Chain A
Amino acid sequence: MTRIDPRTAVVSDRLAGVQRIIGVTGSKGGIGKSVVASLLALSLADRGVRVGLFDLDFTSPSDHVVLGADRRFPDEEFGIDPHRVEGIDMMSVAFFAGDAPVPLRGDAATNALLELLAITRWSDLDVLVLDMPPGLGDTNLDVIRLLPRLEFLLVGNGSRVVIESVRRALTLFAELEVPMVGLLENMHRGTSTAIADLAAAHRVCFLGSIPYDETLEEALGDAASLRQTAVYAGVPTLD
């Protein structure tokens, strides 16, 4: 008998009280995954949904910046407890790393993910939102492998640079049979219907278009201001 990684034995236990696990993903950086994931969580919490937000972009965590969460160590008991921010249960490596850069290769990212899955005590949640790193690399493949109940919400925009990678992502997720919440267009400008067309062609739900919002930058870090933005208004309601 060889060495066993004990952490995989408890991943499903630790998420047993979670009804839905939604990974907000996208094949590119800078398209608004973190803003969408954070404001999706905020809008769900505001409507009384029990929601968690787990920042899995370990090398570039952002959700604490978007929501204005303090960076401090989580409380430790039988595991570690997420922070409560605006009614959202939040976990992030930013709570541990301070200002230090966190350079991680794939294996290390997988280990960090497994460690946090094994020790984080999520309470009973209707939805756990995962903020994914960009691309079709390690952590995206890890959540597909480790979390059989995962659904993806794919963020894209109408730029030709983005469309091709959205198409690749849709093809892969169909091949791997990952359930899709749908495709959400962010930073919509002009009249392009490319993302809606792509959703139709790949038979996934088109979740709408969030316009480019000039006020977003000012609103970051302040929940009351974030509630006034087009992103907050445009995230799907999931019902």
Chain B
Amino acid sequence: MHELALADSVVKAALQAADDAGITRIGRIVVKVGELQQIEKDLFEFSLTSVIPSQDPRLADAEFDVAEEAVRFACRACGTEYGRSDVDIDSAGDEGEAVHFIPELSHAFARCPSCASPDFDITQGRGITLERIEGSADDAD
């Protein structure tokens, strides 16, 4: 399950962000899961809880807030903006599997619904992002 590696990156990034912001107890870790990568929200939540280091005091009260984000594409050639249902990537087969591992491989399989260009930007909903962390500075530390 490569979701575990991504979950591990979220937890490590949250700890780095906490240290940078002087947060000693993290309350909430707000994560977005982009539609393009086809990672199931439940599975990702499970991955996050299974990689979290149980001994780290900064994470003792931490809760995850995982939300899904729709993918949007913007065509560089004709300007059309479009979504997942407008493109033909076979999610069950090898194409979907490739995009699941490397969302940029959508450029190999997806085409603009208006002009058939592969030259598009993924403007949102690509993959996993850490939106923000919330927490407090424990003065006793």
Interface pair A6/B12, CB less than 8 Å apart:
yes
A residues near B98, Cβ cutoff 8 Å: 73, 96-98
- Counting CB contacts under 8 A, is A200 at the interface? no
Q: How many residues of A contact B (CB 8 A)?
A: 38
- Counting CB contacts under 8 A, is A121 at the interface? yes
Closest Cβ neighbor of B108 among chain A residues: A100
Interface pair B6/A105, CB less than 8 Å apart:
no
A residues near B16, Cβ cutoff 8 Å: 9
Q: How far is the CA of A108 from the CA of B103 in the complex (A)?
A: 9
Interface pair A4/B13, CB less than 8 Å apart:
yes
Q: Known interface pairs A1-B21, A6-B9. Does A102 touch B2 (Cβ–Cβ under 8 Å)?
A: no
A residues near B101, Cβ cutoff 8 Å: 73, 80, 96, 115, 119
Segment at the A interface, from B54-62, B78-86, B129-137 = B129-137
Q: How far is the CB of A114 from chain B (nearest CB, A)?
A: 10
Q: Which of B21, B97, B107, B132 contacts A73 (CB 8 A)?
A: B97
Q: How many residues of B contact A (CB 8 A)?
A: 38
Q: How far is the CB of A216 from chain B (nearest CB, A)?
A: 29
The interface bits of chain A over 115-151 (1 if a CB of B lies within 8 angstroms of the residue's CB, else 0) are 1101101000000000000000000000000000000
Q: How far is the CA of A119 from the CA of B107 in the complex (A)?
A: 20
- Counting CB contacts under 8 A, is A112 at the interface? yes
Interface pair A96/B130, CB less than 8 Å apart:
no
A residues near B109, Cβ cutoff 8 Å: 100
- Counting CB contacts under 8 A, is A111 at the interface? yes
- Counting CB contacts under 8 A, is A77 at the interface? yes
Interface pair A93/B6, CB less than 8 Å apart:
no
Q: A10-B12, A78-B2, A108-B107 are in contact. List 9 more A-B contacts (CB 8 A).
A: A3-B130, A6-B13, A7-B6, A9-B9, A73-B94, A78-B5, A102-B108, A108-B122, A112-B104
